Amino acid sequence: MSTEKKQRDFDNQDQIVAEAQRNRAQREKTYRAQALKIYPWICARCGREFSGKRLRELTVHHKDHNHNNNPPDGSNWELLCLYCHDNEHSRQQVAGAHGKLTPSSGHAPPATYKPFADLKDLLKDKT
């Protein structure tokens, strides 16, 4: 266990993340405007319509969860309201923290919380 090394990697990552977030904030403005031009102002999940001030609640979701993937034809974008967008991401967060995303798998592995310690061993035997 080399926690020290991990900590250093972490600091490094923080800088990268900070930079990426700056860039992302810039890009977000651009691709959001673009997505709103291409798509009707309707949440793709719940079907609510948005206009005027409430348009702020309509956000751009990346289908492959890669915010750097912004094809100009909008094929990676989906307009989702804040609530549906939140839902979409809370389903993915566990998987995301552990590496590769599997958007189509439909269920996340029980990674962070273990109600029964024995369950881990059971799962291990199964898979």
Residues in the site for Zn ion, rule: CB under 5 A?
43, 45-46, 61, 81, 84
Smallest distance from Zn ion to CB 14, Å: 22
Q: Between residues 54 and 120, which has the closer beta carbon with respect to Zn ion?
A: 54
Smallest distance from Zn ion to CB 48, Å: 5
From 6, 80, 10, 75, select the one nearest 43 (Cα to Cα).
80
| Amino acid (1-letter code) at residue 35 | A
Q: What is the DSSP letter of 99?
A: S
Q: What is the DSSP letter of 107?
A: S
Q: Between residues 47 and 72, which has the closer beta carbon with respect to Zn ion?
A: 47
- Helix, strand, or coil (residue 12): helix
Q: Between residues 9 and 49, which has the closer beta carbon with respect to Zn ion?
A: 49
